[in-house]
């Protein structure tokens, strides 16, 4: 009804107002003008999805990665962030260390949040959306932020998300399914993921396999190579149970064939996907560092790092995490070992989505393949 009223008003030649609005107000207008508890309608562009977390324990305590004792706990819910324009002072190169957690900086990078349940559909970054709900000032990560609660979200011109399958839909790849689902290999249908702990065999943290059935669709178990039981390139987690096993590798070595959809470091940092889902993320390498367990961290620059929760290191400093495990770095593999990319290089990584409760971030782990993007363009 409100769309009809607005359309009639804008078409009325007697109004004499050529600048009359033709749609809902912008997120910026709602933040500036709406009262707490007011029902609002807003139109804006999605710039990220984010989550909240809290620290419950000593981050310096030595625990195995992913154990239940991990100090970082995800809190329920997600927030879809919308705006009508990019404000100044939100890009990585515009920020200073002392200001990244100031309330004013967080508000600038947040604009307006739309509160969602964990399993609610998630519009893509760049989608234009209409939102209707109740405006509130809330608290996120210890900061006051404006949100729309009890919201309905309509994507005005869905692109990729319009073609993804809901539970039970036929699929040939995880990316054929909605973001909280995976493509079940046994049924070739979209389904909820199995539980994905750091010790679970399903979509193993090391990428191990005994047959193709252990790998996601779009990958195969390369049994021509067996991971050694000791040395620099052995299993990094629960190796005793993996003796004699091999590695899952992409069926296609072409990045466009292997990656039906390519996501951004913002998507990774915001935890957009189900744990265990195979994803491809493209971005600039911010820095590379080795870990005591032999993993290589390939950290991807998050171009707008403000609206993500605290963790062991802020996203501004640490970027979005991807990790190459020792077995995939073995130069004796038929595909060759995965080497470290160069800092500043733009790359595309393919691997498994996980939550790391030891450090408080989402990550792609293990990286099963990466490609240099600049070399292909």
The span from the CA of 330 to the CA of 71, in Å, is 32
Query: Which pLDDT does position 9 carry in this prediction?
Result: 37
CATH 2.40.50.140 occupies which residues in the chain? 203-376
Query: Which pLDDT does position 4 carry in this prediction?
Result: 30
Q: What is the DSSP letter of 193?
A: P
Query: Which pLDDT does position 374 carry in this prediction?
Result: 77
Please report the sign of the dihedral spanned by the C-alpha atoms of residue 207, residue 72, residue 182, residue 349.
Answer: negative
The span from the CA of 299 to the CA of 92, in Å, is 14
Q: What is the pLDDT along the chain (377 residues), one digit of tens a residue?
A: 333 333 333 334 334 445 555 789 999 999 999 999 999 999 999 999 999 999 997 655 544 544 455 899 999 999 999 999 999 999 999 999 889 999 999 999 999 999 999 989 899 999 999 999 999 999 999 999 999 999 999 999 876 666 688 999 999 999 999 999 999 999 999 999 998 888 889 999 999 999 999 999 999 999 999 999 999 999 999 999 999 999 999 999 999 999 999 999 999 999 999 999 999 999 999 999 998 888 999 999 999 999 999 899 899 999 999 999 999 999 999 999 999 999 999 999 999 999 999 999 999 999 999 999 975 44
CB 73 within 8 A of CB 54: yes
Query: Largest Cα–Cα distance in the chain?
Result: 83
- Give first-to-last CA distance, the chain, whole Å: 48
349's enclosing H/E stretch is strand 346-356
pTM of the model: 0.90
Residue whose C-alpha is closest to residue 252's, from 221, 219, 279, 209 = 219
The span from the CA of 334 to the CA of 330, in Å, is 10
Please report the sign of the dihedral spanned by the C-alpha atoms of residue 40, residue 35, residue 86, residue 317.
Answer: negative
3-state DSSP assignment of residue 214? helix
- Rounded alpha-carbon distances, angstroms, from residue 158 to 48, 113, 162, 163, 216: 16, 20, 5, 9, 27
Name the superfamily (CATH) of residues 203-376. Nucleic acid-binding proteins (2.40.50.140)
The span from the CA of 340 to the CA of 254, in Å, is 19
Query: Which pLDDT does position 23 carry in this prediction?
Result: 86
DSSP secondary structure letters along 23-53: SPPPHHHHHHHPPTT-EEEEEEEEEEEE--E
Query: Which pLDDT does position 198 carry in this prediction?
Result: 86
Query: Which pLDDT does position 222 carry in this prediction?
Result: 98
The span from the CA of 333 to the CA of 9, in Å, is 68
The set of residues, in sequence order, having a beta carbon less than 8 Å from that of 282 and lying 6+ positions away, is 262, 263, 264, 346, 347, 348, 349, 373
Please, which residues bridge with residue 300 across strands?
285, 320
User: Dihedrals φ, ψ of 282, to 5°?
Assistant: -120, 130
CB 91 within 8 A of CB 303: yes
Query: Which pLDDT does position 12 carry in this prediction?
Result: 40
Residue 10 CB-half CA count within 13 A = 12
CB 368 within 8 A of CB 322: no
Fold of 24-63+70-155: OB fold (Dihydrolipoamide Acetyltransferase, E2P) (2.40.50)
Please, which residues bridge with residue 336 across strands?
none
Query: Which pLDDT does position 199 carry in this prediction?
Result: 87
């Amino acid at each position: 009804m409100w769309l009809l009223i607005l359309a009639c008003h804008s078409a009325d030649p007697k109004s004499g107002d050529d600048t009359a609005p033709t749609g809902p107000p912008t997120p910026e207008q709602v933040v500036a003008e709406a009262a707490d508890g007011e029902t609002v309608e807003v139109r804006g562009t999605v710039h990220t999805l984010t989550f909240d977390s809290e620290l419950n324990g000593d981050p310096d305590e030595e625990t195995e990665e992913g154990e239940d004792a991990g100090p970082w706990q995800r809190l329920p819910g997600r927030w879809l962030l919308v705006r009508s324009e990019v404000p100044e002072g939100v890009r990585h190169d515009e920020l200073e260390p002392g200001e990244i957690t100031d309330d004013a900086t967080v508000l600038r990078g947040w604009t307006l949040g739309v509160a969602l349940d964990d399993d609610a559909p998630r519009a893509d970054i760049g989608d234009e959306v209409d939102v209707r709900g109740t405006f509130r000032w809330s608290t996120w990560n210890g900061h006051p932020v404006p949100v729309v609660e009890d919201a309905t979200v309509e994507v005005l011109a869905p692109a990729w998300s319009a073609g993804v399958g809901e539970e039970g839909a036929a699929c040939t790849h995880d990316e054929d399914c909605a973001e909280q689902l995976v493509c079940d290999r046994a049924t070739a249908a979209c389904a909820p993921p199995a539980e994905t702990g750091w010790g679970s065999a399903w979509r193993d943290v090391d990428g191990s396999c005994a047959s193709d059935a252990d790998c996601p669709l779009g990958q195969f178990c390369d049994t021509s190579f067996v991971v050694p039981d000791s040395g620099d390139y052995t299993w990094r987690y629960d190796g005793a149970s993996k003796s004699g096993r091999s590695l899952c590798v992409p069926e296609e070595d072409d990045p466009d064939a292997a990656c039906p959809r390519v996501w951004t470091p913002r998507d990774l940092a915001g935890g957009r996907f189900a744990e265990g889902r195979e994803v491809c993320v493209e971005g600039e390498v911010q820095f590379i560092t080795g870990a005591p367990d032999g993993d290589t961290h390939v950290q991807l620059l998050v171009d707008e790092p403000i609206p993500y929760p605290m963790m062991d290191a802020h996203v501004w400093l640490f970027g979005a995490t991807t990790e190459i495990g020792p077995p995939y770095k073995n130069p004796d593999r038929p595909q060759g070992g995965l080497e470290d990319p160069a800092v500043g290089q733009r790359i595309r990584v393919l691997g498994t989505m996980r939550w790391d409760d030891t450090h408080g971030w989402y990550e792609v782990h293990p990286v099963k393949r990466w490609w240099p993007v600049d070399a292909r363009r």
